[in-house]
Structure 1
């Protein structure tokens, strides 16, 4: 993986997705997710999620990125499914969860097959029209870069807190992991702010 822990180098010469331009992959992602949402059908949403999961090994990314996405989303999907079931019915819960999972897996596939530098170059180009309104395309790309960088930081902070939680023999109190995670993220934010200030970026 890359330094940000997102890009996965191609595992075979047939990994065509890695060779596609970032713009084409982003456009395909928007169209695919839009089609799944527009269909508003539980079977279509679940089929799209299953297809997105199968595409990971087929496109040379492997199954680990898909499994990480599933583990990260599992608590939220369970909560959403329970809420939808209580407020509506099971088909609605399956549809909403399927759509979210399909979107997350497809986005993860694009991220895993695209170098961060390529994605940032694309976003900088897309942000150039905003220069007419006083926005700096490079700053827009920087914000996106920091956003991408924070994804693995949050996951790492949670993983570290969970390991400490288990090492102390704690059980049944997952809420005690929240404060260490927040403290760790605040310290990382302070360090990042100091680094940006030292480089003359306000």
Structure 2
């Protein structure tokens, strides 16, 4: 797969005209932080269920396809299921459902934000927040790009894991850890290299805060990841 096709997987933004889509990226990220604190303070399963229902309603109003939303949770299930079993045995069913439910709810909320927010908008928000650090030699644009790519590359890693897992099953090697880990690492390294080449081709490898950078070299607006 070419570098450009890999670059196309950097974002999972789902275009739309909903209120959530139109909300500023900074407001959504701040709301996500507040919501995460609220989720951790939930102490009953009915309250957790109501929070889930409200989140799913928001996703429905934003017209997020259910298959896309479910894909965001599928990779977490590999961790959630063993966690549920462990909590069930050590702390009881109520605590187990509460802990795993909080985890899945926070992942769902984060996915809702990323699915309705362009990477460029996130990048601008991060850069604005980090601008005061320029006085101590930190490049806000470069740090913001790293943060934005981190947010967007999580689904890419999950997708790569799913593809490798399917290939492992197709070869009948479900019980071989090496048949999963080795191809997974190789695929991730290849995709990371392709993404790096795509970003470098767009001038992101140059210092966006360098006043001596020529036109098209700075990683500013022309190098936004969308």
Shorter-chain TM-score bucket reads: 0.7 to 0.9
Structure with greater contact order relative to length (CA < 8 Å, sep ≥ 6): 2
DSSP 3-state at the match of 2:41: helix
State whether structure 2 residue 168 is matched by structure 1 residue 165.
Answer: yes
* TM-score, normalised relative to structure 2: 0.76
Residues of 2 paired with 1:99 and 1:23: CA distance?
Answer: 23
Select the structure that is richer in helix: 1
Q: 1:107 deviation in Å?
A: 0.9
DSSP 3-state at the match of 1:39: coil
Q: Given the superposition, is the C-alpha separation of residues 201 and 79 from structure 1 closer, same or farther in structure 2, using an over 3 Å criterion?
A: farther
CA contact (8 A) 1:46 1:95 kept: no
Partner of residue 100, structure 1? 103
Q: 1:53 deviation in Å?
A: 2.6
Q: 1:193 deviation in Å?
A: 4.7
Please provide the CA RMSD for this pair. 2.4
Q: Any stretches of 5+ residues in structure 1 without a counterpart?
A: none
Q: Given the superposition, is the C-alpha separation of residues 53 and 172 from structure 1 closer, same or farther in structure 2, using an over 3 Å criterion?
A: farther
State whether structure 2 residue 50 is matched by structure 1 residue 44.
Answer: no
Q: 1:101 deviation in Å?
A: 1.1
- Deviation per CA, 1:69-103: give whole Å up to 9, x if none: 23122121111111212221111111111111111
Count matched residues.
198
Aligned runs of 1:1-202 on 2, under 5 Å? 3-10=9-16, 15-173=18-176, 176-193=179-196, 199=203, 200-201=205-206
CA contact (8 A) 1:46 1:94 kept: no
